[in-house]
Structure 1
């Protein structure tokens, strides 16, 4: 009733290969041989890690940190955005 249930797998595979050939794919993997069982190359590490100099690190106490955080020494001071002050509250036990 309507649809042909006869599927020729050989014709379907040939059609798919013809489509890939028309798309410009002419090799299965690469032009050069590859040893698929070889261990992968180690990841490339950066030569140096940059960090802020010790003079620009935030202060150690909470009050000094909050003052520094709203000052002009923070990295975000040059951004075009407003900063929201944090209000420190003492924890009562």
Structure 2
């Protein structure tokens, strides 16, 4: 059985490739490229629009909420007692 299969595959390999089969890969790649080209701008425009809307929404909400952070330098003073140099000198 194996020899028959090998012989049949050998005969098939020796035959020339049919023209339609020879063009198949190029035809498929052209159709894929055409489909990509037709849908890419719409998706790209939708993605850019969505990113812009989210950015404006978040930025607008942050601007409307105002700044609630502590004045500059205060956040460092609050944790000053937790510095390793301050903790090493403490005794319980």
| TM-score (structure 1 length as normaliser) | 0.25
Greater relative contact order structure (CA < 8 Å, 6+ sep): 1
| Bigger Rg over Cα | 2
From the two aligned structures, give the one with the greater helix fraction. 2
Q: Provide TM-score, normalisation by structure 2.
A: 0.25
